Structure 1
Amino acid sequence: MSTARNIVLFDLFGVIARHQRPGALEEMAARCHVPTDVLTAAYWDCRPPYDAGRQSASEYWTAVSRRLSLSVDADTIEELRLTDIDSWSRVDDRMVAYVQSLRDVAEVALLSNIPSDHADAFLAAQPWLRHLDHVAFSGKIKVAKPDPAAFRHCVVAMRAAPTDFLFVDDREENVRAARATGMNGYVFTGRDELAAAIDTWLPQRQPTRNDTLLETDPA
């Protein structure tokens, strides 16, 4: 049963923040002296434990290096780590302003897949995040989307019911996972479309209603 709260739970990258900076993987591949496609495959294949807080940055880049059959020293690992963090540092200022404005009419929270050291850097660069009602970074809570435990963390941490949440993500698989836990879900395609959907969702909220308004992906 709903607790009659309106909580908009945002993904970060692809919604509020930009996806990885173009050319970043090419830079990292050049530093490792390997083709970009080879580095890219190792970069993503080794990523899940790092995102979920089960590996440090050093352990992650060591795993990538082993996948590439490279011997990489500590200085190179640090260079790669910093390049990686920088590549995920851009935000959409229009979305940042919109998210902040929503706090006048709803609780606003964040659930992002991001390694712990990346999260620290992002918080330092984007202090407005500290003013949200809850911020959950996968590297800090030790679980990443689409694992249901990531969504349950937010429910428990905010002392809410799943039906109180509207989860917004640009990845359909994550939205499906949120819905499976009882949350409402919306696949993000743009700020204007999202604003219209939220403007519709908020007035529809009732204390005893199990919302199904946004259970169909936008066309």
Structure 2
Amino acid sequence: MSIVLFDLFGVIALPQRPGTMARMAARCHTPVDAFTEAYWTCRPPYDSAQHTATEYWTAVLRRLSRPSDADTIEELRLADIDSWSRVDAHMVAYARSLREHARVALLSNIPSDHADAFLATQPWLRDLDHIAFSGKIKAAKPDPAAFHHCLAALRALPADVLFVDDRVENVRAAQALGMHGHLFTGLGELTAAVDTWLPSRTDI
């Protein structure tokens, strides 16, 4: 059966909660721009489980020349998790409805502790055919290893998969492996793309 492989954040889950970077930067007594640069620069090893949450936040704080005490790290960690906790209810319903016509899976760049929190509050994830979180599989998009993990877990060929992501570099990485790709810009465009890819699918 055909497989629709979804990204999470920016597709099914909403972007980071507005104002979070400013609040975390204020907690660190540092400018928002500097905090944001450190936050994202240090992120890849955290996403792919090469760094723990403590190691990640220690690296961020050191980059900002700020003290990395345990209380500050935990406060930032929890604020960060909360900031990525919202989902688009329409996209959740759409993804779940697709399971009548295709297998549905998820591949997300998300640290392990974030993944645990997301699973605890979003039980619909367990309805999917496979969930791959970078912090659990130790590989993050656009690394081909992340896509190969999903193919192996689903026992699928690349041509069986339509990969949906809001980042062009991730879509191109999937396409380079032989998957079909769709750059997500909204539910309407996605529905049209899926209808074309699954021509026998009835309207849902």
Runs of at least 5 residues in structure 2 that lack an aligned partner in the other structure: none
Deviation at 1:71, TM superposition (A): 1.2
User: In the alignment, which residue of structure 2 is the partner of 1:98?
Assistant: 94
Alignment counterpart, residue 40 of structure 2, candidates 34, 44, 47: 44
Deviation at 1:204, TM superposition (A): 7.2
What are the residue-to-residue correspondences of 1:1-219 with 2, within 5 Å?
A: 5-203=1-199
Which structure has the higher relative contact order (CA within 8 Å, separation 6+)? 1
**SS state at 1:103 partner:** helix
Counterpart residue type for residue 34 of structure 1: T
In structure 2, distance between residues paired with 1:47 and 1:201:
34
Runs of at least 5 residues in structure 1 that lack an aligned partner in the other structure: 206-219
**SS state at 2:198 partner:** helix
In structure 2, distance between residues paired with 1:38 and 1:100:
39
1:51-85 per-position Cα deviation (integer Å, ceiling 9, x unaligned)? 01111100000000110111121011000000000
1:115-150 per-position Cα deviation (integer Å, ceiling 9, x unaligned)? 000000001110100110000000000000000111
Deviation at 1:22, TM superposition (A): 1.0
Q: 4+ residue runs of structure 1 moved beyond 6 angstroms?
A: none
In structure 2, distance between residues paired with 1:170 and 1:114:
15
Percent identity reads 73
State the TM-score, normalized to the length of structure 2.
0.97
State the TM-score, normalized to the length of structure 1.
0.90
Counterpart residue type for residue 193 of structure 1: E
**SS state at 2:181 partner:** strand
> How many equivalent residue pairs?
201
In structure 1, distance between residues paired with 2:190 and 2:64:
41
With 191-200 and 139-148 compared, the bigger mean Cα shift is at 191-200
Counterpart residue type for residue 113 of structure 1: N
